[in-house]
Amino acid sequence: GGGHPGQGLPLWQRLGVAALVAGAAGGLWLWLRAEKGRQRQARRRAELRALALGQGDFQLQDQEGRPRCKADFRGQWVLLYFGFTHCPDVCPEELGKLSHAVELLEREPGLPPLQPLFITVDPERDDAAAMGRYLRDFHPRLLGLTGTPEEVRAAGSAYRVYASAGPRDEDGDYIVDHTILIYLLGPDGLFLDCYGRSKSAQDIARSVRRHMDTYEPLPD
């Protein structure tokens, strides 16, 4: 009567009990690991939600003179480019590429709409009227945003956009050196990706589609 519990069980039963105990311990470990992962993900998503409220905010006007802010585009996918209307080649190429990427995605049924945005880095010359004339050559839904120098500078800083006007020529014309990136914002307003000059419209469309397919909204 002084033996260890289970000592009188046949070997196969003892092995079965050991396997059950090991299985239960392993299941508990897997549950604890999954629970820890869920808690970590919940904390991360809460951090992202807080970040989304202030990340990249702006107070500008569109080409119709209507005030626009980042909150106006909540719930929408956005492709955003910073540039200027007097840009001789790079900005037209990038806006053309952005417009084509939007067109490619519009051909696919079932995808959410994508809003193209263009924010000037040259408010001195790019008022609402100039933006309206310039954007006629691109996607019909492309919105151009401008404002005071302070408002434009704040919008660029929010996305860490570099912009610096060069020297003026004898006609008073000048070039603005600036960051050349197309930004992707998700429906929560979070920055999700960016695309440099080496990316084609097809590359951008594939990447945006992939983000749309894997998107999970942040909790309220």
Q: Are residues 185 and 115 in the same domain?
A: yes
Q: For residue 127, what pLDDT is reported?
A: 96
Are 142 and 134 in contact, with CB atoms under 8 Å apart?
Answer: no
pTM: 0.75
Q: Are residues 32 and 81 in the same domain?
A: no
Q: Are residues 73 and 175 in the same domain?
A: yes
Q: Are residues 197 and 140 in the same domain?
A: yes
Which of the 8 DSSP states describes residue 218?
Answer: P
111: tokens are 């995808």
Q: Are residues 74 and 23 in the same domain?
A: no
Q: Are residues 69 and 16 in the same domain?
A: no
- Residue 111: give the domain boundaries: 59-214
d(CA 213, CA 119): 27
- The answer to the question of residue 1 being in a domain is no
Q: Are residues 84 and 47 in the same domain?
A: no
Q: Are residues 174 and 100 in the same domain?
A: yes
| Farthest CA pair distance, the chain | 109
- The answer to the question of residue 143 being in a domain is yes
Residue 36's region, left for phi above 0, alpha for psi from -120 to 50, else beta, is alpha
- The answer to the question of residue 173 being in a domain is yes
* Binding residue positions for Cu cation: 87, 91, 178
Q: For residue 53, what pLDDT is reported?
A: 43
Q: Considering only CA atoms, which of 105, 120, 103, 111 is closest in space to residue 68? A: 120
* Binding residue positions: 87, 91, 178
- The answer to the question of residue 4 being in a domain is no
The stretches of 6-116 forming alpha helices (DSSP H) are 11-54, 90-106
43: tokens are 């904390």
Q: What is the mean pLDDT of each run of 10 residues along the chain (220 residues)?
A: 56 68 73 76 58 70 95 94 96 97 95 96 96 95 97 92 93 93 93 94 97 84
Are 149 and 123 in contact, with CB atoms under 8 Å apart?
Answer: yes
192: CB partners within 8 A, 6+ apart = 184, 185, 186, 211
CA atoms within 13 A on the CB side of 31: 6
Q: For residue 85, what pLDDT is reported?
A: 97
d(CA 33, CA 54): 33
3-state secondary structure of 137: coil
- The answer to the question of residue 219 being in a domain is no
Q: For residue 220, what pLDDT is reported?
A: 61
Q: Are residues 123 and 197 in the same domain?
A: yes
Q: For residue 20, what pLDDT is reported?
A: 72
The count of domains in the chain is 2
Residue located via tokens 């909204």 = 217
- The answer to the question of residue 43 being in a domain is yes
Q: Considering only CA atoms, which of 179, 191, 184, 187 is closest in space to residue 205? A: 184
Q: Are residues 131 and 166 in the same domain?
A: yes
Q: Are residues 29 and 83 in the same domain?
A: no
- The answer to the question of residue 159 being in a domain is yes
Vertex 57 angle, CA 166 and 86, to 5°? 30
Q: Are residues 28 and 116 in the same domain?
A: no
Q: For residue 12, what pLDDT is reported?
A: 66
- CATH of residue 66's domain is 3.40.30.10
